Amino acid sequence: MYKRRDRAYELRKQNKSYNEINILLGIPKSTLSSWFKDSNWSLEIKRRLIKKSQKKAIKQLRLMALANREKWKKIHLSYRIRAREQFPQLFINPIFGAGLAIYWGEGDKKLKNCIVRISNIDYRMLKVFIIFLVTACNVKLEKIKFWMLLYPDLNEKKCKKYWSKMLNVSPRQFIKSQYIKGREKIKKVTNGVCSVQVYNRELKEKIIEWISLYSDKLQEAGIV
């Protein structure tokens, strides 16, 4: 036992952890702890090992994060490649062009939030965009969500009823409304602003790519 203990001391002074000594000598970690817990030199080794382990963990996390980013870059690129392949066939559909034009002017362009979203006070524009989502983008109607931006003096229930009727969608598809905060309490629009949105990173990547291709087509035609 003394030889094993002496060997354990040698290994510990070589900056070996309890786990490594346990594997090499078969001595329980609880026993090793009882031998070294009052030794200042061993405590210093423990601090160094903890610091080394933390640095290693941070490095591993960074490598994992980098690998994950590269993975998603490839996935997002595949969405855009698919969008280019689909564009020629979709381009001949008038609703496709109308939907892209609406999103080009009114849509949320931030890719990171993964939300395809437009907001407007004109139900006709929103209705065209819904048709675009359903017929050109193959989005199921029930997957589309709606929310309203309201002034303080507007009745939420009344506004929801209006938008639900004009867009021909279920009131259950509306998520929590937001009220404009501030001193001004005079309503600016009768039924607030309605937002149409779909949470779908693939679709957003495609729409942004389609808009770029659509712009190129318009330039080729001398329109813009």
For the chain (length 224 residues), average pLDDT per consecutive 10? 69 74 76 72 76 79 80 90 96 95 95 95 97 97 96 93 97 94 67 96 96 91 76
The pLDDT assigned to 182 comes to 65
> The pTM is what?
0.71
102 & 192 share domain: yes
The pLDDT assigned to 191 comes to 94
Q: Is residue 82 part of a domain?
A: no
The pLDDT assigned to 186 comes to 56
Q: Is residue 35 part of a domain?
A: yes
52 & 110 share domain: no
Q: Which of 177, 182, 184, 139 is nearest to 158 (CA)?
A: 177
Check if the beta carbon of residue 34 is closer than 8 Å to that of residue 8: no
Check if the beta carbon of residue 125 is closer than 8 Å to that of residue 102: yes
The pLDDT assigned to 184 comes to 59
Q: Is residue 28 part of a domain?
A: yes
Interacting residues of 167 by C-beta distance below 8 A, sequence separation 6+: 123, 126, 127, 130, 146, 194, 196
134 & 39 share domain: no
Backbone phi, psi, residue 27, to 5° = -90, 130
What 3-state DSSP class applies to 192?
A: coil
6 & 114 share domain: no
Q: Is residue 19 part of a domain?
A: yes
24 lies in which domain range? 2-63
56 & 158 share domain: no
44 & 101 share domain: no
158 & 52 share domain: no
Residue with tokens 């070589």: 14
212 & 120 share domain: yes
50 & 93 share domain: no
The pLDDT assigned to 61 comes to 80
Q: Is residue 214 part of a domain?
A: yes
Number of structural domains in the chain: 2
The pLDDT assigned to 133 comes to 98
C-alpha 71, offset from chain centre: 14
**H or E element, residue 193:** strand 193-199
